[in-house]
Structure 1
Amino acid sequence: MSTTEQLSFDEDLVDADLKPYYWVNQSNALVNTKQNLSINERRLLYVLVSLVQPEDRDFKTYVLQTKELASLFGISESGFYERIRETVHGLNSKPLTINRTNENNKVVIDDIYWVQRATYNDGQITIKLSEDLAQFLIDLKSYTKYQLYNVLKLKSEFSWRIYELLKERERFGSRIFEVAELREKLAIEDGKYKTMSNFRAVVLDRAKKEIEEKTDIKFEYKVHKKVGRSIKSFIFFIYKNPKNVKTNLINEAITYDIQSILNLLITKGIRRDKAVELIKKYPPKYIEENLRYVIRMEEKGLENLPGYIVSAIENNYAESHYELDFEESLLQLAIGNADNRLKEKTEKDIRDLEELYDHFINVISKSKIQTKEEIEEIKIEMERTLFKKMDDISEYRKTHSHPPLLEDDFESSKIKSYFSKWLIRYKEELPY
């Protein structure tokens, strides 16, 4: 790839709404690869990764405001627009190198670029992740998950990488690394930090201090095995670090999690009351693990997708280990808020459609039209107008991450038959 710059993008663009509590989900295979990225390269990369959603089938093209990026990174805006282009070029000058065995049982090397293409214009960047990264970020079976705010303020790339490597094994409480293995994963050149005292002081101890100061975990480590007088491996003991939970973010973050999961459940055809019942009973990350499991199974042509989702959650098909990691009262408040907002939005959309319907019925009843043909023309125009309004509502809900309107929402509505007809006509075109 000779350049990451592109004059235009053919696909639809998505204005990225950047939040520090968004989740980074990446395969454990990616976590354990050798990576040699600078802090700003990692920050930009994982902001993009945090925008990838569990239900995504491919990568979207995002428009990022460089002013928002600078604020999220916690650095000055001065000169940042120019530096961001350098950051993208820096990313693609350090491809992800994967060794694999081909069909002839020979080892081949794949260089995977991080960014597919990017355009810089008027204080913003339009950017898309490399499609070759999809295997590490989409349709995940075994993955590591953390919130952006834990890593964006880290100043050492070693701290970030050690944080990720330990997060992968957090639920087990420990991880063993051979020294050579750890140096490889951290992309430390052979000539750097050669003495063990230097390696421990500059890499491990500094990372230990920064991770404890800024993230949701902390660790201790000690020698695991020696060969003669040389240290062969270390064992790291991983602990939760509740003092660094961002209390100023937690309410908004929980609400976001609940809203996202509620929307996804309803989008997959589950009635709103059942979706609310599920999120009241099970932790958000537990539900997400099981939703990911079902999304992977969806391609096999499940006959009753909503029923399978409910069964997967209630029986933990994904074998999720997630537990509730915040106060029950905060969860219930977030569920109530999300459910109320969705009800209000749905009621307003249906009310707007019914007002359109009433307008046309009123025109027919008060007009002096005598022929059936003229009345039929008004009815055709009414249907056309209702369908256009339904199109607009559908598009708004999609772009604002709201679930689509369902037939159940129109159970007692006077326009139920019109919605059913619209749904049949446009079902194959809907992005849900």
Structure 2
Amino acid sequence: MSEELIPLKYSTYRVSNSFMSAKGKTTLYNTRLIDIAICKIQQMSHMAEDAELIANIYSAEIKELFGDTGNSYRTLRNAAKTLASRTILIEDGKGNFIVFPVVQKVEYNRGVLTIRMNEEVRKYILGLKSGNYTQYRIAVDAKATSVATLRMYQIFEQELYPGNRKYNEELGCVVVEYPVNELKFTLGLCDDQNPALDAVKKKMGKKIDWDMLYEALPKEEKIYPSTYNFIYNAIEPAQRELEEISNIRFEYQRVKTKGKAISKLRFFIYKNEENEKKLAKQAKFIEKILKIPDEVRMELYEEFVGLHKLKREDIDTFLIKASGDALKVREAIYYVNGKDNINDFTGYIISVLNNPEWDLSGGTAVVNDTDIAPERTRMAKEYIKTQTKKDTMSKNPSEIWNNIIKQRDDFSDFISYMESTDHWDLETFELVYKYEEMIDYWKKWKAGR
């Protein structure tokens, strides 16, 4: 199976350690978009060094990963503006640094956000050599609720490599220290390119004094001027969240080096053993999926996704349970779909596939010694195509929109109306409005026909 067919939430991406440690003002939403763009570029190019630095992100993918963020179109538009102007600063540890914009161009057209990365980014995301990069999980991007959480995951994850000299054997963890004000810039909370800092930078020369830069920021740009507020509002929430959603966890100590003031934070970074087991299980799942031909999966997706809320991941699970046997999966779905009063449709199918008595020999499916006659199978197929509103109706607005309204014979008339009257295409319409608003819009159109 091609990597690009792996659901985004299961995908990983690799980034040079120097790039991931860069300073630069950012937001959670923008960081997520950049990470997804990198992931997509790597999947489509198979890490080829000469690949195009272009990623197409679909509005449906954004909704699936991040949920409904209110006015998604406005959020995306604002993010595109700041992405196009965002710069990062990368230091080499020898008094040298480089500053450049990450994104060259952002374009949105008919439900697709296209991000073209700056050519300078290439060496940090493609052709990477072992030892100078770290692999990250999009799942953490999707679950993080603050930019501090996501950035701490990214900078701490790169510390957990075999042979790290910062590893303390007695404590069983990696120990690192960060000056408080420098950490604020590293987490993307403060802007090192603020024009107010230009005069101070000239006086510094090559060696950057992050305390001096922070003090030179305009008052309104000094995020968490109190170290205690910084710890309470950024560090501790990230600590709790990372232990829940990622494969790392950390403890910290306050370090006083200037009188009574806290100037540094010392972090103790551990592997999150409990989550590591879950992630290892997920990795094995993906490894099995990769062995199943794309055409097999796509055919089942087209036929069954949406039926009783089945998702692509459910179909993948069925295929793995059936050792890649698409016929066995198809007949199991037909069988269960013909049953009445099924509370857990997905779970029932899995139980059928796990049943040792399940047999498909001779073209006849047998469960618990009961034959499913060809006529029963034909009826089940017909049932799938002609499901009633009772079967598909859900209190979830997304189900009403996707499984009922969009499947109506007159939906094409509705689209024509939108395009001619309000100049909406379907992709943009779905990105701008919430499901409740789209349903209301359709109802008004229906009533006015």
TM-score (norm: length of structure 2): 0.48
1:354-390 superposed Cα distances (whole Å, 9 cap, x missing partner): xxxxxxxxxxxxxxxxxxxxxxxxxxxxxxxxxxxxx
Mapped pair 1:151 → 2:141: yes
Q: CA deviation at 1:204?
A: 1.4
2:286 pairs with 228, 253, 256, which one? 256
1:97 pairs with 77, 89, 94, which one? 89
Mapped pair 1:42 → 2:31: yes
Contact 2:53 2:122 in 1 (8 A): no
SS in 2 for 1:155: coil
Q: Which amino acid aligns with 2:242?
A: I
Q: How does 1:334-413 map to 2 (within 5 A)?
A: none
Aligned to 1:169: 159
Aligned to 2:228: 197
- Aligned-partner Cα distance in 2 for 1:196–1:60: 39
Q: CA deviation at 1:119?
A: 3.1
1:327-349 superposed Cα distances (whole Å, 9 cap, x missing partner): xxxxxx98x969x99xxxxxxxx
- Aligned-partner Cα distance in 2 for 1:68–1:145: 21
Mapped pair 1:237 → 2:260: no
Mapped pair 1:22 → 2:15: no
Q: CA deviation at 1:100?
A: 7.9
Mapped pair 1:223 → 2:254: yes
* Alignment CA distance shift 1:63-1:89 (3 Å): same
1:137 pairs with 114, 118, 125, which one? 125
* Alignment CA distance shift 1:29-1:235 (3 Å): same
- Aligned-partner Cα distance in 2 for 1:88–1:119: 8
SS in 1 for 2:9: coil
Aligned to 1:81: 73
- Aligned-partner Cα distance in 1 for 2:148–2:97: 28
Aligned to 1:394: none
Q: Structure 1 residues 78-87 or 21-30, which shifts more?
A: 78-87
Contact 1:41 1:87 in 2 (8 A): yes
Q: CA deviation at 1:153?
A: 1.7
* Alignment CA distance shift 1:209-1:63 (3 Å): same
* Alignment CA distance shift 1:184-1:116 (3 Å): closer
Q: Which amino acid aligns with 1:111?
A: F
Q: CA deviation at 1:134?
A: 0.8
Q: Which has the higher contact order (CA 8 A, sep 6+)?
A: 2
Q: CA deviation at 1:253?
A: 4.3
SS in 2 for 1:209: helix
Identity %: 25
Q: How does 1:190-339 map to 2 (within 5 A)?
A: 190=214, 191-224=222-255, 226-244=257-275, 247=278, 253-257=283-287
Aligned to 2:374: none
- Aligned-partner Cα distance in 2 for 1:106–1:210: 34
Contact 1:217 1:240 in 2 (8 A): yes
SS in 1 for 2:143: coil
C-alpha root-mean-square deviation of aligned residues, in Å? Answer: 3.7
* Alignment CA distance shift 1:337-1:181 (3 Å): farther
* Alignment CA distance shift 1:84-1:245 (3 Å): farther
Where does the alignment leave 5 or more consecutive residues of structure 1 unmatched?
1-13, 264-332, 342-432
Aligned to 1:184: 185
Q: CA deviation at 1:38?
A: 1.0
Q: CA deviation at 1:243?
A: 4.1
Aligned to 2:381: none
Q: Which amino acid aligns with 2:23?
A: K
- The number of residue pairs the alignment matches comes to 252
Q: Which amino acid aligns with 2:67?
A: G
1:304-340 superposed Cα distances (whole Å, 9 cap, x missing partner): xxxxxxxxxxxxxxxxxxxxxxxxxxxxx98x969x9
Aligned to 2:99: 110
- Aligned-partner Cα distance in 2 for 1:260–1:149: 18
SS in 2 for 1:144: strand
Q: CA deviation at 1:90?
A: 1.5
* Alignment CA distance shift 1:20-1:177 (3 Å): same
